A = this chain, B = another copy of it.
Amino acid sequence: MTEHRKPQIVIIGGGFGGLNAAKALRDAPADVTLIDKRNFHLFQPLLYQVATGALSPANIAAPLRALVAGQANTRVVLGEVAGFAPAENRVILGDGSAIPYDSLIVAAGMRNSYFGNDQWEQYAPGLKTIEDATDIRGQLLTAFERAEQEPDPDRVRSLLTFVVVGGGPTGVELAGALSEIARYTLRGNFRRIDPAAARIILVEGLDRVLSSYTENLSAYARRTLESMGIEVRLGTFVQAVDAEGVTVKTGETLDRIEAQTVLWGAGVRASELGAALAAATSAETDRPGRVIVAPDTSIPGHPNIFVIGDLAHFKGSDGKPLPGVAQVAIQQGKFAAAVIKARLRGQPAPTRFVYRDLGNMATIGRAAAVADLHLFKLKGVIGWLAWLFIHLMQLVSFQNRMLVFLQWAWSYFTRNRAARLITAEYEPYRPQ
């Protein structure tokens, strides 16, 4: 029997890396198993639009089974990976069962990091999952609702103060969307408070926002944020977060900000699976817990185990690790699939992954974005249109492209955000 067994390829994670690996393996003479703990692929770059009521969760998600339904050699397993047994070439699932592999691709991604202050998480949620997004959406909208009911003006001020930690793309996009909501979407919706009086503060430790972009684009982003009424605090670090607000430090100066809403876009670290994999394979990890991989994205000493995407520490041509962006994951997923296919066919496999950097883009607000496409640096309306177009094209289903396009067009003309639902359990408010 065993000589007839098809080679087994197991992929952990249905994000950009894992999904693209699976799709590239559709013609591989092997059985492909895609394992994820969720039943959908999530287009994370638009998660902040769910958190701010512009899009619905299903608009940026697509069922994994539907995405690979046409690939007869591929099955999806909904389950949680508990560990690795590389000596026996097996992945152990949470239910105790084992899935054997000949080649393994691990693409388990990142989660939020609070730099050792995990107690901050309850007060400053991060934005990684669909549930994070709908929870944050409920929290933002609830803050306005409570302010409307609150008689104490100090507390109203604290309810209408929103602190976003982290000046990377997520933080900038969240702060920009918050300003839109407060100044336009909610206009005329309340009778006691003026939503436009909301205070939005963006806190960044470095000396500029969007530090992975050129200084020129960073400066434009900062000016745009400030023109939208957002306070941008550079060179500022969070010292403490609690239920009533956040304490920040700029230089030697401590400042206390009373704020009922603090959002975390500051840091990420490797999925727990990174540590488990490293322990099982004696792989090295870097400080955020990413697994350090060889030039062909495999783990040194384990040529049949590949780590790709955000979970991988892959040294780029400049000696620095590649950034945790979708393009790196997509290209590495296709690369790892190509290595495995070449080996299966007895052909020489590529030995070195080369990242083709297509550029970066981030949106700031209505008709304002920055795009660093290397040859072109775009900003303003042109950058924004480029951002819209490229993000639309990257969505995985035609239906979602159509629905997102319509909602964007609608929001542009009406400034409405239709998905303003408080769906997490709402606690009736008792002013204190």
Contacts and interface: CB of A to CB of B under 8 A. Distances in A.
Contacts of A420: 39-40, 58, 63, 66
Given A145-B78, A421-B58, A416 B399 contact: yes
A122 interface: no
B69 A39 contact: no
Indicate how many identical chains form the complex.
2
A419 interface: yes
A238 interface: no
Interface stretch (A245-253, A272-280, A298-306, A400-408): A400-408
Interface string A400-432: 101100110010001010111111001011110
Nearest to A56: B56
Contact of A399 (B39, B141, B410): B410
A77 interface: yes
Given A39-B145, A40-B420, A429 B399 contact: no
Contacts of A65: 186, 189-190
A79 interface: yes
A210 interface: no
A38 interface: yes
A318 interface: no
A246 to B, nearest CB: 26
A346 interface: no
Contact of A426 (B37, B62, B186, B431): B37
Nearest to A58: B419
Contact of A428 (B39, B80, B400): B80
A149 interface: yes
Contacts of A423: 57, 130-131, 134
A70 interface: yes
Interface in A259-312: none
A141 B39 contact: yes
A95 interface: yes
Given A56-B56, A75-B191, A428-B95, A418 B402 contact: no
Contact of A188 (B40, B61, B69, B402): B69
Contacts of A403: 403, 406-407
A94 interface: yes
Nearest to A422: B39
Contacts of A145: 39, 78
Contacts of A61: 421
Interface string A376-407: 00000000000000000000010110110011
A130 to B, nearest CB: 6
Nearest to A68: B189
A189 B39 contact: no
A431 B96 CA distance: 10
A194 to B, nearest CB: 13
Interface string A13-42: 000000000000000000000000111100
21 contacts: A37-B428, A38-B422, A39-B426, A56-B57, A56-B58, A56-B59, A57-B423, A61-B421, A63-B420, A65-B189, A69-B189, A70-B188, A75-B191, A79-B149, A79-B429, A95-B429, A96-B430, A130-B421, A397-B418, A402-B406, A403-B407
Interface of A: 37-40, 56-59, 61-63, 65-66, 69-70, 75-80, 93-96, 130-131, 134, 141, 145, 148-149, 186-191, 397, 399-400, 402-403, 406-407, 410, 414, 416, 418-423, 426, 428-431
Given A94-B428, A95-B429, A399-B414, 4 more contacts: A39-B420, A65-B190, A95-B428, A403-B406
